Chain A
Amino acid sequence: MKTVSARQLCFFLAFIAPVGKLILMPSQIVFDAKQDLLFSAALSYLLQSVIVFLVLLAAKKDKTLFALLRERLGTVGARVALSLLALFLFLAALLPMLEQKLLVQSVFYDTLPSILAFAPFFLFSAYLCFHPIAHLGRMWDILMPFSAVGFAGLIALSAGAADFGALLPVGASGMGAIARGTLHSLSWFFDSALLLPLLGRIEQTKRLPLKGTLCYLAGGGAVLLVLAVFYGVFSDIALRQLFAFSRISKYFPGVAVLGRIDYFFIFALTLVMAFYCAMPLHAGVECLKQAFGDTPVRAGGYTLAVNGVMFTLSVLLNYHFLRTQTFMTHTAAWIFPLFPALLVFVLLIGRKHEKA
C-alpha cells in the first residue's frame, strides 16, 4: 500500500483520468471547434502526454518530489515549489469540482436541489485527503472495471443513434478554431501534475514512461470516441448539451421499454469521477504534507482547511459558474500545461543545489 504499482499507474492513466473529461469539456470544445472537436481534444491530449512522459521519466529517480526539489532548489525552495504546486492543484480542482456539482444537481435530482446536496462530496474528499496518497493505487485497481464498463456501456447504447457524418467536413472550422478549442480545453488537462506528488512511490518497471504515456493516449482514444459519438448524436446542438456522457445514451431503443438502464453506466462513471475530482485536492494536500510534515494533526489540519475552502468556494461560486468557467478556460488556461512542465523540467535538467 505504500507504493503504486506500474499496473495501477497505467490503470489511472488509461481508465481514471479520462472520466474527468466527459462532463463539460465536450461542449466547451464544440463551442470553438465545432465538428473538428476531435482535433482539438487530440492536441490537448498529445500535449499533456508529453508532460506525463517527462513526469514518469522523473519518477525513475525513485525519490519523492520534495527530495528531488530539495536537491535542486534547497529546502526553502522546495517548500515554495511544493506550495505553488499545491495551489496549482487546488486551482485545477475547481473546475472539475464545480462541473461535477452541476452534474449532480442536474442528473441526480429531478428538481434543483439545495446547494448542500453536494456538501457530502467534501466529506468524502476530506476522508481521502487525510489518508496517504499511495493508497489510491489499490483504488485504481478496483475502479478500472467500473470505468471500463461505464465507457463501454455508454458507447454501446449510444453509438446507434450517432451520425458520424456530422464530423465532416474535416478541418472546416479552421486551424484557429481548432487551436482555440485546444487552448480552452487545457484546464481539464492536469493529469501530469497529479502524478508529481506520487514521485518516489511509483514502483519502477521496464519502460514505464513509455507504457504510461501509451496508456494515457489509450485513455485519450476512449475520450475521443465518446466525443465522436457525442457530436454524432447531437451535431449542431452539441453545444447545448452540458453533461455529455450522461446524455448520449438515452436514445437507445431499450430505454423506452426498460427505463433509464443507461443510469447504471452513468453511476459507474460518476463513482470513478468522484475519486478523480477529489484527486487534485488529495494531491495538493500531499504536497503540503511533504513540504511541512505529515503528522496526523498536521494532515488533519491541511485536509480540513483545503476542503473547507473548496466547500466555501463551491457555495460562493454557485451563481457564477459561467464566469468561473470562462476564467479557467480562457484567462488561466495557459497555466495548466505550463506549470507542471516547468516543474518537471526543473526536476529533469535543473542543476543540483550547492547545499544539497
Chain B
Amino acid sequence: MKKHDRLHRLSVKLWLFLAAFLVFAFFSNDFGLVDIQKTAVILAAGIDKGEDGYTLTAHIAVPKGSDRSKGGTSSVNIKGRGDTISACISDIYADTGWVPKLVFCDLLLLGEEAVQENSFLVLDYFLRNEQMPDSCQIAVCEGSAEEMLSSASAIDDTSALAIEKLLSDAAEKTGQLTRTTLREFSIGYYGVSESGKMPYLGSKTQSGAESAQGGAQAQDASGGAQSGDEKIYEVRGSALFSQGRMVALLSPDETFAYSLLQGEVRSGTFLAHENGEAVTLYVYKNKGSVSLSLGDVPEAALEVVLRVRVADRDGATDVSDLTSSIPSDALLQDATAVITQAISSLWARIGESECDLFQLRQQLFRHHRGEYELWRERLLSVARPNISVTIRPVE
C-alpha cells in the first residue's frame, strides 16, 4: 500500500511537472513559430529572367481589416532579385521582414524570358519546397510576369485572382485553354516524353473601365501607384515545352483541337460555314482520344467525336430557322473539315517542335515496351497521323 502511495505521489509530481512545462511552453512558445501576423501569404508568384538573374514578384494578400464593406482581397506586389529563386525569396524577407509563405500560392506565372531556357531552372525551387503546393497552376505570359501581376485588373482587385478566374475549370471546358499544374508539368518533364504545355496569357488594356469589385488599388513595393488603365487578361494559346524549354506556341484553334482530342470540351464553340454564311456551333458533348499503334511505322489515331448544335448564325431567314438548332449535313461536313484542319495543323506543329504533347512516347513505353528503344528518338518525326472526326447533331 505504501509503495502504491509512493508511486501515486510520484505520478502526481510528474503530471504537475508536465503541466508546469506546458504552461511555460504556452506562454513562451518558440518552436520555430511564425504566426499569422508575421506571415506574407503569397497568392501568386511571377518569375522573370533578366541579365542580372531572376526577379520574383510575390503577389501577397493583405488583409483589409474588419471593414467588411470593401469586399474582395487587397494585395501588394513585392519584388525580390537574385541569381536563384531561393535568393529572390530571401531578398523579399530581407527587404520586408515578412516571412513569405508559399502554402497558398495557386499560380506560378513565368515571364517570356524565363521559358527561353529550361524552365526547371526556375521550377526546381518550387518542386523542392515542401510548403509549395504542386497543385498550383502554371502559365507563361507575354512580356514580363512582374508587369502582368502588377497591372490593375478590370475584373478583380487582385490581378492574381483575376488570372486564376481565367484559368478556371469552367474556362477549360470551353476548349480555349489547357490548364497545367506544377505536378502535371513536372511529370511530363521527368517522364519519358520530356514534354509539357502551359497556357499562354496576354493582356489588353481596357481604358476607363471601373474595377468590378471597386476595391483597393494594388501598389508595388515602392509604393508607386499603378497605371490608370485596367487590364483584361486573355488566353492567347498554349505554350509547348520540350525538355523544359518553350519550343512552340499553339494558336487558339490548335489549342481548341487539342482540347477536343483530350475530350475535355463541354461548352465550347467553333465557327463553320454554310453557303458562305458563318455559323457558330456549340459543342454539347465531346469524346477524344489519341492512341498509338505500331505497324511498319508508328501511327497515331487522333479521334474526335462531337455532338453539336447551332448556337448562332449570321442571319435567320424566318422564325422556324431561329427555332431549329440542328445543323444541316452541309454544315456538319464543313465543321468536320474545320476540326480536321485544326488537328492537322496541331500535328504539324508538334512534329516541328518535337514536343510530345500527346505523350506518345509514354504510350510507346507503357504499351509497346519491346519497341520503345527502337522508336523512342524518331517517334514524333516518323509517326503518321490518322485523323478521324465525327460530328453529330444534337437532335
Query: Are A and B in direct contact (Cβ within 8 Å)?
Result: yes
**Within the complex, what minimum Cβ distance (angstroms) separates A226 from chain B?**
18
Interface residues of B (CB under 8 A from A): 3, 7, 18, 30-34, 39, 99, 101, 103, 127, 130-131, 133, 135, 169, 181, 183, 186-187, 190-192, 365-367, 369
Supposing A235-B187, A240-B127, A251-B183 touch, asked if A169 and B369 sit within 8 A by C-beta, the answer is: yes
- Alpha-carbon distance between A169 and B368 when the two chains are bound, in angstroms: 8
Report the separation of the CA atoms of residues A169 and B183 in the bound assembly, to the nearest whole angstrom.
22
CB distance from A322 to the nearest CB of B (A): 15
State which of A106-114, A133-141, A187-195 sits at the interface with chain B: A106-114
Q: A169-B369, A172-B369, A296-B7 are in contact. Are A235 and B32 (CB under 8 A)?
A: no
List of B residues within 8 angstroms of A116 by Cβ: 31
The residue from A111, A168, A172, A236 contacting B32, defined by CB atoms under 8 A apart: A111
- Ordered by A's residue number, 22 sampled pairs between the chains whose C-beta atoms are within 8 Å are A109-B32, A110-B34, A110-B101, A110-B131, A111-B32, A111-B101, A111-B131, A113-B31, A113-B32, A114-B30, A117-B31, A123-B18, A169-B369, A233-B183, A234-B183, A234-B187, A236-B192, A237-B183, A250-B133, A251-B183, A253-B169, A296-B3
Contact indicator A236/B187 (Cβ below 8 Å): yes
What's the dominant secondary structure at chain B's contact region?
mixed
Q: Kindly list chain A residues whose C-beta atoms are within 8 Å of the C-beta of B191.
A: 235-236
Q: Is the beta-carbon distance between A237 and B187 smaller than 8 angstroms?
A: yes
The answer to whether B169 touches A112, judged by C-beta atoms less than 8 angstroms apart, is: no
Q: Nearest 10 pairs between A and B by C-beta? A: A113-B32, A168-B366, A236-B191, A169-B369, A236-B190, A113-B31, A117-B31, A114-B31, A111-B34, A235-B187
Task: Report the nearest A residue to B366, measured CB to CB.
Answer: A168
Q: Are B32 and A112 in contact (CB under 8 A)?
A: yes
Q: Is A350 an interface residue (CB 8 A)?
A: no
Q: Is A301 an interface residue (CB 8 A)?
A: no
Fill in one digit per residue for A120-135: 1 if any B CB lies within 8 Å of its CB, else 0. 0001000000000000
CA–CA, A116 and B39, complex, Å:
22
Tell me, in angstroms, the Cα distance from A76 to B99 when the chains sit together.
60
Verify if A293 is at the interface (C-beta below 8 Å from B): no
A106→B133 contact, CB < 8 A: no
Q: Determine how close the nearest CB of chain B comes to the CB of A321; give it in whole angstroms.
A: 14
Taking each of B33, B101, B127, which has the highest tally of chain A beta carbons within 10 Å of its own beta carbon? B33
Closest to B127 in A: A240
Q: Which residues of A contact B (CB under 8 A)?
A: 106, 109-114, 116-117, 123, 165, 168-169, 172, 233-237, 240, 250-251, 253, 255-256, 296
- The closest CB in chain A to the CB of B190 belongs to A236
CA distance A235 to B127 in the complex (A): 15
Which chain B residue lies CB-closest to A118? Answer: B31
| Known contacts A172-B369, A237-B187, A253-B169; A106 and B32 CB within 8 A of each other | no
Residues of B within 8 A of A233 (CB): 183
A168 near B367 with CB under 8 A, answer yes
Shortest Cβ gap from A225 to chain B (Å): 20
Task: Give the distance in Å from the alpha carbon of A234 to the alpha carbon of B34 in the complex.
Answer: 30
Do A169 and B169 form a contact, CB below 8 Å, given A234-B183, A251-B183? no
Tell me which of B127, B133, B169, B187 has the highest count of chain A C-beta atoms within 10 A of its own C-beta: B187
Contacting residues, chain B, for A117 (C-beta < 8 A): 31-32
Which residue of B has the minimal Cβ distance to A102? B130
Contacts of B365 in A (CB 8 A): 169, 172
Cα distance, A132 to B95, chains bound together (Å): 56
Closest approach, in angstroms, between the C-beta of A111 and any C-beta of chain B? 5
Q: Are B186 and A237 in contact (CB under 8 A)?
A: yes
Chain A: CB-nearest residue to B30: A114
Give chain B residues whose Cβ lies under 8 Å from the Cβ of A106.
130
User: Closest A-chain residue to B193, C-beta based?
Assistant: A236
A111 to B39, alpha carbons, bound, how many Å? Answer: 10
B65 → chain A, closest Cβ, in Å?
22
Extra contacts, 16 of them, besides A109-B32, A110-B131, A169-B366 (Cβ < 8 A), are A110-B39, A111-B34, A111-B99, A111-B131, A114-B30, A165-B366, A172-B365, A233-B183, A235-B187, A236-B191, A237-B127, A237-B183, A250-B135, A251-B181, A253-B169, A296-B7
Smallest CB–CB gap between A331 and chain B, Å? 27
In the complex, A234→B135 CA distance in Å? Answer: 11
The residue of chain A having its C-beta at the shortest distance from the C-beta of B103 within the complex is A110
Determine which residue in B7, B32, B365 has the highest number of CB atoms from chain A within 10 A of its CB, and name it.
Answer: B32
Residues of A near B39 (CB, < 8 A) are 110
Rounded to whole angstroms, the CA-CA distance of A236 and B359 in the bound complex is 13
Contacts of B169 in A (CB 8 A): 253
- Report Cα–Cα, A235/B18, bound state, in Å: 46
Cα separation A250 to B181 with both chains bound (whole Å): 12
Complex CA distance for A237 and B32, rounded to whole angstroms: 29
Chain A residues within an 8 Å CB radius of B135: 250-251, 255-256
Q: Which residues of A contact B101 (CB under 8 A)?
A: 110-111
Give Cα distance in the complex from A169 to B7, angstroms.
62
| Smallest beta-carbon distance B328→chain A, Å | 39
- CA–CA, A113 and B190, complex, Å: 31
Contacts of A255 in B (CB 8 A): 135
Whole-angstrom CA separation of A325 from B187 in the bound complex: 26
Chain B residues lying within 8 Å of A250, measured Cβ to Cβ, are 133, 135
Q: Give the distance in Å from the alpha carbon of A251 to the alpha carbon of B169 in the complex.
A: 13
Give the Cβ gap from B19 to chain A, nearest Cβ, in Å.
12
Q: How far is the CB of A300 from chain B (nearest CB, A)?
A: 8
Q: Which residue of chain A is the closest to B128 with respect to CB atoms?
A: A240
Bound state CA distance, A251 and B3, in angstroms? 57
Name B365's closest neighbour in chain A (CB-CB): A169
A162 → B minimal CB distance (Å) = 12
